[in-house]
Structures are given as structure tokens and as C-alpha cells.
Chains A and B, each alone.
Chain A
Amino acid sequence: MTPILDIAGYCLDYATPAGFTRALDAVTLGVAKGEVLGLVGESGSGKTSLAWAIMRHLPESAREAGRIRLIDKELTTTSEAEIEAIRGRRIGMVFQDPSTSLNPTLPLGEQLAEVLEHHRGLTRKQAWAEGEAMLARVGLKVPREMMRRYPHEASGGEKQRVVIATAFACQPECIIFDEPTTALDVITARQILDLFGELQAETGVASLYISHDLALVSRVANRVAVIHRGRIVEQGKVEEVFASPQDDYTQKLLAAVPRPDHRLVDDAGPGSEAKALVEVDKVSVRYGRKPFLAKLLGRENTQFTGNRDISLSVREGEILGIVGESGSGKSTLARALTGLNPFEGEIRFAGRPISGLKDMDRAYRRDVQIIFQHPDSSLNPRQRIREILSRPLALYGTVEQRKDANAIGALLEQVRLPAAYAERYPHQLSGGEKQRVAIARAFASRPKLVICDEITSALDVSVQASVVELLVDLQKRFGTAYLFITHDLNLVRQIAHRIAVMYRGDLVDLVDVAELSGGQVHAYTRSLIEAVPAPAAPASELPRI
């Protein structure tokens, strides 16, 4: 069968002040009709560059070689004017984040109808009617109304459905999906994937599905190509690649995928008789200032609720996982615990009641540390690593530590970084290394509780695995309790002793990890478990590294 999209020996270089850097190196792949090719790679591997190369939207600094063919059309030599007729008409694209790929100043229908008018020559009226039909087909309940809505009036999932409808609108031969579910919540992502499967089977379009998520690709794709530093290292049928990966990199990548059945901590954990370290008692957080005038006039309070009556406890040396979609109030709780948000209710730390910011004294600050999601923003770009790490020592360290010139080096070695990194600035480190520095900073004061707020979600899967391993290691050494906040259910099932599930500001479930899959759980928790794609292959079948 002749492929619809045929890429052969394609190389792409970007001109930089230091010369050419290779983004894609001799990429050869093909997508046939009705086929889904999953392109898997970590950040910086060149997968998005390839997408843009196919769409013929490259910066001026790009230099290319090789060929990209769409059936009989050679795209690399086609003129700009001809490309414009092909883009959107014969090749569609679905972007990662629907909130940025839609124009916020135009109604959704306008954006969909424009494609139809432009490429299929429909009149405005026909285009709107057709657009409505398209929206109904992608499973939107009120297509007529949706056509007239602006992007901010639709949810993330609805917007992504509109983007998908736009991509399929002109019945293109090939569609590129660039991480279409990464910006969405797990349950929404699952629905979008189901929709993708239906439309794919119905139209038989050749799909190039780009993702960093191996588990996800194993579910949607027929064939998979693994890209590493611009080079396709392995390509083949999904089952074959995942069952018996040939390349070292693929093996490493597969081994790094979190699997709930592959526990990284002692299963027992501290029993229920263990002492509670932190007890959160009916804590609520409301955002927004109390409007003074509204209070005077006796109007309703319009504050936004971040947390509603959360009660939970973390035992000494326990890893408590908190899962939930974005906006469910996970981070709000973390911020309340560290005094970044005012809260109502009471927190008891080692038996001591804390009812507000005033009660968070030096001892509490020392014992409760937080690690943030983005190491880029949690490390001050203008400070050297030495200065960053010296602050907790200056505030909470022992006298010896403050005098010891090697204290910083010791902290760095504790997180498996060379001591020489002390003289570097954060931008000279990779994402994983930066997050290790943030971990070192949190552990410098020997805390009893460390709050990890989505600390691995900005990292690649292989880096994530090593950071998680480090955390588990530190936990074993120091017996620190963790509040591990994440949206990744598979990851949290690997390391947590108990799991709390949050939904729209409420705590809906708090169960032992073992009871999660079988026991009595909330309906939302069950749908969450069902929505999470199962990892590609059981850990036992993988070669150990």
C-alpha cells in the first residue's frame, strides 16, 4: 500500500549564532491510509519540528534536506501559494493547547466556517450549516449554540472538539495531532481519545500522532516511531516495539513509565496506629478579597472557593498522594499548608494547633517544606546554586553546617549532583537537575513533611523516574513524610501509601493504595481510574536495566 505521507531521509538544521544545530537527522517514515503512526519522544527530540516541517511552516533560519511527499506531491519544493491551498485542505493539524490555538476574539463557529468557506468554496450560510453538522458529529451537545460561543465560553474539552472538527472539516488526507490531550484533564482526555478513534475509523485519514506519553500512544496507534535527538531510533508495530524494544533508548523509555503494579516503596508503610504528623481539620480556602462595598450593601459573597472543608491527616513517614484534575484544589491545599494562602479551619502539626499565618513560626517553617512544579520559576535565576542552597542553612541549619564550607556540596551530593554545581546559575542546568536542586533546598532544613506539588509533571518521563527514585530514597533515609500532589494516577500508585482524591475543591476519597482498584470508592475516583490508560506492557516482560 502506498503511503499517504512519505518522509524520506529528511534532515533539518537551524542556524544559530554558534553554527547549525541539527533538529532532525535522516528521518524516514510513512503513514498509510487509515493508519495511525505514533511519534514518541521527549522534549527537544524534534517531534514538533517534524510537524512544522510537514506543515511547511519553518522559521527562516531552517535549512533542510531530503523529501516529504503527500501522495504524489513533493512538499519541500512546493511554492508558498500552493502550500496555502494544501494546508488545512489536504493536511490538517490539531494542536496541544486548544485555549491558545483558537482565536479568543472570534466565535467558534466563525473559525470553523472560515476553513470551509476558504477551502471548499461554500457560501457563508452553507458553511455555518456544515459547521453545525461537524460540531454535532464531534459529540458537542448543543452545536448551534456552540457555533456562536467565544472560546472563553467553552470548556477545554469542548474547545479541543472544535479544533478537531476544524481539522476534519475539509476531509484531509492526513492529519497531524501534536499532543492533543496533554493540556486536558484525564477524563476529558479519555473522551477526546475515544472521539479520535471513532473519527479515525470513520474517515480513514492517515494520522501522525505526536506524543511524549508512551502509554497513550500504545492505545491509539497502529505503528509507533521513537524519536531521540532528531533521529528515529526505532519504528514498527506497536505490539512489537512495546513487547520487545530493540533500541537501548526505547528500553530506557519504557522502563521509566510509571506502572501502578511496580511499587517503589514498602507496601506496608506506617500503619494506622502510627502517630499523625499533620492533621488538617475542616480547612477551607476562599480566593478573592471580600468586597468591602458588597458587604456594606449586604450582597452575596462572590468569593471563589478553592477548598471546601478538607479533613485529612498525614502520618509520620508516610507518603500521602493527592490526585485530582486541574482546578480541583490540590495546590490550594499545599499553599494553605505552607502559609501562602489564608485559610479557615485548623491544622494540627505534631499536636500543635495552627489556625492561621501567625501560628506558623520558625519551627513549623523548618519542618514543613514545599517543592514546586516548575524548577524554572522556583529557583531565582539571578542567584547561584550556592546562594539558593545557603538560605535554608542560614535560617535553619546547625552552627556547624553554617560554618562548614562543604555543607552546600554535601547537600548537592545528597541529591546526586556534583558539588561543583554550587557555582552555577540555574539556567546552566537541565530541567531534572534544577528540580534536584529544589529538592536539595527543601531537604536542607531536615523537614518532617515535604509537600511535592506536581514536581515531576514538567519533566520528561525518564527524568521523572530518576527524580521519583531519588525522593523515595530520601524518604527511606530520613523518614520524611510526603504530601505528593500529582495528576498522574499511575505515578502516585507507585509510591503512595494512601491516596486522597480531590474534585472541585472537595476531598471525595481517602483510601489505602491497595483498596483503590477494588474497594468501595467514590464514583469520580472510579471514572478517574478507568480513564487512565494502562501502561503498554507489564513490567515483568521488560528487560531490566
Chain B
Amino acid sequence: MIELLRRVLRSPQGALGLVLVGLILLVVVLGPWIAPYDPESLAPLQRYKPPSALFWLGTDQYGRDILSRLLHGARATVVMAVFATALGTLAGAVIGTISAFLGGRSDEAIMRTVDAVMAIPSLLLALLIVNLLGKSSWNALLAIAIAFTPGMARVTRSVALAVRKQDYVNAAIARGESARFIVWREMLPNVVAPIIVEMTIRVAFAVMLFATLSFLGLGAQPPASEWGLMVAEARRFMHLSPWMILWPSLAVAFVAIGFNLLGDGLRDALNPRT
């Protein structure tokens, strides 16, 4: 693990990604404590303030401190995105590995179904699911997880097909192991590395997808300080105070870039040949 970290740090994008993601996690954990104000306290006299010594990033249409809202919102935004990606990845990895293990007609059937789901753009699919299930953060999370599953299943299957040919899988079959044991204990641990890389990159997509859903009013609901929702609300007051829309957008971009770079670094670190 330490060796892996050292190798991530060796490449510039990996090191930068690690620093950015580290900062983000710090904000996620400590955000509510270091926020200077209550994110929901209204101050009618302090509306649309530009950044100043008092309000570092300015205030919004109700006079709420934007920095405090961002720090509080980090939890909702980042944790939800990571959680949704993890869920989608797990489901996709299991489906992909099972498909590769079974092979033949079952593989064909599973993968064609996955292809069919993949043909629907992930945002549309997420919209569809949220509309069916009702608006809430948890449903948005589920929608993103489902939207990510087919892609992850494809990635996993391609890796798992190579693992399937390895003799330790043959040995397990010849030993009479159950299919569940072979998929869980023999195959899945060996497809983990490329999946983790894919997952880190997808976290960035999840953040943006989440923000998009909230922006469309289908994810987090006011007065939550989810970043996508903040952008959506700020849109109406753009001409009054451009800061209001700038900061949460930058925060989303920051997370996306951080996880993307980390994913790049991890890919190089886990595969010494590239």
C-alpha cells in the first residue's frame, strides 16, 4: 500500500491528484467545523455581497455565507458521488465477472442486455429512474449507481476474461469449487486493480451527474447546500452577483479534476509497463 502511494506520487498527475483528493477529503471531514457561519442563517442585509474580509467568497440571495455553504455541502456532494460510484462499480464488477466466468450463451445474454442499457445516455437513464422513484438525494444516488453499472460491467468483463483463462481458475474448477467461491475469491480480487482506476475516474463523472440532477431539481432539494443545487439557484441571480455561480462551479470542477488526476496516477502506478 505504501509502495503504491510512493509510485502514485512519482508521476506528476498522480501527486497532484493525491493532494487535491486529500484536500477534498479534509473538507468533507472537517467542513462543518471550519465553516465560519451557519450555512442556513439568513441575513437580509448582507445579500449579494462580493468576496470580502468578512465573507471570503461573498454571500447569496438570502445573505448566506457561500464558503460555509460550500464547506457544508462537500459532504452531500462528494460522499454521495463516491458512494454512488462504489455501488455502481460493485454491481458492475460482479455482473462482469459472473458473465466472464459463465461464458458461452449466458455471457452472450448478459452482455447484450448490458449493451442495451448502455445505449441509453447515463443522464437520461438517471433522469428516468429519479422520475420513476421520486425526487430525493437517495434516489439520485441509486439512479447514478444504476447508470454506471453497465459500463463497469463491460470493463470488468474484459479483464475477467483474461483471468478466466488463468490456471488458478482452472485449478479451482478441477477441485470442484462452487461458482460463487470462484467468482468471489479467485476472480474478483484479481480484477480489482483496473476497476479501482476506472472507479476513481468515474467519481468525477458522478459528481457532475449529481450536480446536473440537482441542477435540474431532481436531486438534493432546497435548502440543502449541495453544490449542483447551489449552481441551479444562483443561475437566476447571475447578473446581480456572478460570484454566487462561480464558486460552486469551481468546487465541482476541482473535485472532478482531482479524482481524474488521481485515476490517471493510479493507472500508471498499478501498471508499471505503461
Contacts and interface: CB of A to CB of B under 8 A. Distances in A.
A395 B168 contact: no
B250 interface: no
A374 B174 CA distance: 16
B239 interface: no
A413 B172 CA distance: 23
B175 A377 contact: no
B148 to A, nearest CB: 24
Interface residues of B, number: 16
Nearest to A372: B167
Contacts of A134: none
Contact of A382 (B104, B174, B189): B189
A395 B190 CA distance: 22
A395 B176 contact: yes
A377 B167 contact: yes
A365 B168 contact: no
Interface class of chain B by DSSP: helix
Interface range for A: 20 to 34
Interface core residue of A365, A380, A381, A438 (most chain B CB under 10 Å): A380
A441 B168 CA distance: 11
A373 B168 CA distance: 11
Contacts of A369: 174-175
Interface core residue of B175, B185, B189 (most chain A CB under 10 Å): B175
Contacts, number: 52
Contacts of A381: 190
A338 B174 contact: yes
A370 B171 contact: yes
Contacts of A289: 104
B171 A378 contact: yes
Given A377-B166, A378-B168, A382-B189, A392 B173 contact: no
Given A380-B190, A382-B189, A382-B190, A340 B168 contact: no
A479 interface: no
A338 B168 CA distance: 14
Contacts of A366: 176
Interface string B157-189: 000000000111011111111000000011001
Contacts of A338: 174
Given A380-B190, A381-B190, A339 B174 contact: yes
Interface string A341-375: 00000000000000000001010011011101110
A403 interface: no
B176 A340 contact: no
A382 B185 CA distance: 9
Interface string A409-442: 0000000000000000000000000000010010
Contacts of A441: 171
A391 interface: yes
A36 to B, nearest CB: 36
B175 A340 contact: no
Contact of A378 (B167, B173, B185): B167
B177 A395 contact: yes
Contacts of A335: 170
Contacts of B171: 370, 372, 378, 438, 441
Nearest to A378: B167
A274 B185 CA distance: 41
A536 to B, nearest CB: 33
A395 B186 contact: no
A338 B176 CA distance: 10
4 closest A-B pairs (Cβ-Cβ)?
A: A365-B176, A378-B167, A382-B189, A338-B174
20 contacts: A335-B170, A340-B174, A365-B174, A365-B176, A368-B174, A369-B174, A370-B171, A372-B171, A377-B166, A377-B167, A378-B166, A378-B171, A379-B168, A380-B168, A380-B186, A380-B190, A381-B190, A382-B189, A383-B189, A395-B177
Given A372-B171, A380-B190, 19 more contacts: A335-B170, A339-B174, A362-B176, A368-B174, A378-B167, A378-B168, A378-B170, A379-B168, A380-B168, A380-B186, A382-B189, A382-B190, A383-B189, A391-B172, A391-B175, A392-B175, A395-B177, A438-B171, A441-B171
